[in-house]
Structure 1
Amino acid sequence: MSTSTSSTVERAFEAALYATTDGALDTGASLLAADPAADAELARRGEEFVANAWRRGWQPADVVRIVRRELDDVHLRLVTALIRAQAPHDRPRGPRWTAQLDALGGTGAAPEPPRPPRTDRFSHATAVLELYRLLLRLPTLESLDEAAGSAGTAGEAGPEEGDRRSEPRMLGRIRALLAKAEATGFPEEAEALTAKAQELMARHSVDEALLAVRAHAATAPGACRIGVEAPYEQTKAVLLDAIATANHCRAVWNEPLGFSTVVGFAADLEAVELLYTSLLVQAGTAMTKAEAAQKAGGRKRTKTFRQSFLAAYAHRVGARLAAAAEGRTSGLSDDLLPVLASRDVAVTERLDRLFPETTTTRLRGVSDAAGWEEGARAADDAQVEARRRLG
């Protein structure tokens, strides 16, 4: 790298990254567009921005989510390429991190850094600087790095090893059942499919707890971030909180950044993610049908109807999940109850370390009685409490 190349990048950064005006951005982009030799250094500095984001607690899915929300598709392609380019130089960070990288695609080999288009270097440089400006200003988040044994799994050795190998097949069955429940047009079939999926989730959670005890494994709760997207993000956050609580997890919503952090053991985190995604799809489908019926009757207040619908849905689902969670413990064997209780304590302790101060998410803006009634009816139809008691 020549001194002039480094100087070009530094001058471009000084002009564009620490100011917010379009003129400053244009100045930095002009400097980069005029110096093709600076492209490699510009890409290298982008990888540094990505690595700094990891040090501030961000994860690949978090960065992709914030870029998608704040910028455009071109920036999303750029940041995806930077994350992939930086990954081979990073330390191992656990299976959840690896899964996020895999979701970006093409992580099997180190990719080429993003190349500027031949026809419009100025537009490319502008997009790069807009992305770097966002990465530079990311706030510090709570570190969710997976410590040794914190994945919530056991069975590194011993007779249970075969059970660990079967886990992906179990999760695949759950995903397939929920996908069918979302797609079917028959409520009875959706109810049966969702009930079966939830039964498998519950069985998997208990099996994981027992496996950890039998293997004398030093497991600890993990954590993940789940996007809570606009619109009506508050009601979605309440729904996610209810699902997490019913599945031995705890959730904390970060409203400005559009996600909730969920703390729990690995099998339970997986259940929360799957169920939240499925119930959002089911709620959206039910809301569309209810709204169409309301419009046919001459209603015009679409926004208030949707807000009230989703608020009622989240409230009713939360109440039914809480009742189901309480009822599930009555059929458990005496030796399992202390195990589950100790795991609940561990989850609470991990949550308190991550978030010493938390606030309760409350519903607001509920003003449409018809929307509330339809949302409550849709929540009833979801049959979310249909887990069998475990023994």
Structure 2
Amino acid sequence: MQGLSLPSGWSESKVKYVAPGMQAGEAITAESIEPVGTYPVYGGNGLRGYTQAKTHHGTRILIGRQGALCGNVHLVSGEFWASEHAIVARASDEVDPRWLAYLLRVMNLGQYSQTAAQPGIGTAQINALPVPVPPHSEQRAIADYLDRETARIDTLIEEQQRLVELVRERREAEADALLGSPIETRHTTVKRVLRPLSRPAAPGLGVVTAFRDGVVTLRSNRREDGYTFSNTEHGYQEIRPGDLVFHALDGFAGAVGISDSHGNATPVYHVCEASAGDHLPYVARLLRYLGRSGFLATQAPNVRERSVDFRNWSMFGRLPLALPPVEEQRRIAEHLDEQTAKIDTLIAETERFIELSKERRAALITAAVTGQIDVREMA
């Protein structure tokens, strides 16, 4: 925060003077942490659980010191245990701890992490950082203003997030209603409706994934962090747009759909085409409904923790299906596609509003703690 033009009455200091005696918390074993207990245990990213002993009492600022979330800032009060994954800071007597917590949050402390494999920051790095310091009365005014304004924004964000959840539930409920009780059904099995495809991996293509929301697309269209893969792995297969893709271990949770991408996938997927003239998008939606409703779990030969195993094609092929006439399949699938598109547009607009609200929240905090706005005029 160097180079700022400070308002009259403000001074420049360093973190070590506004939060003297900063130090890491104390080690605690995982066995000592319970879901309920006498004292909360805080780590580098907030509450971890509870224990029967305490390391601190009063108001402290906790800064994550290790891992991908190092630099996170939490203001805590009361009696608690601060673990070794947190740096514990106590505001000096002349400093409002709420103001200091807001200031430290906008300083993006994570940028000072030193190791790529296991990011971490130390007290020496933080202590040396320059900070703008207003008079104590103004610190309190800034903290009061930000408490009030961020609470309003947080409430608005929570309302919008709840709206997203509700419209997603509505989307699923409408699909379930149409897929769960087809009229004029013919009773058949997966192997009579779908034909498995077996294509070798295509060189130079990205990796396709079936996600639990029914979208089958290239990982690069969503995210690639957290995955390790190689296109040269034995058994990789080519997937083309329009293929039905069923995740043999995660299909029970909704990971099935029609691919919108050309790429390769692991052998854990069943890649299929229609073999009897059925409408493939409808069949994909039906399989997803059967997974989400719990039916697939009742038919699986092997149920493991968090997965239902259908890797064996013969087992998968014996799954019973009830299908309406093809024209009705097409009508239902097209109706659901139309409704899904409308809902997805609403979700995208709402999520964009949420992101803008978060950006406004961050900008408001930055402006207040750096003196760009005088909050005393906004009381």
Query: TM-score range, shorter-chain basis?
Result: under 0.3
TM-score (norm 2): 0.24
Higher strand share: 2
TM-score (norm 1): 0.23
Higher helix share: 1
From the CA coordinates, give the structure whose radius of gyration is larger. Answer: 2
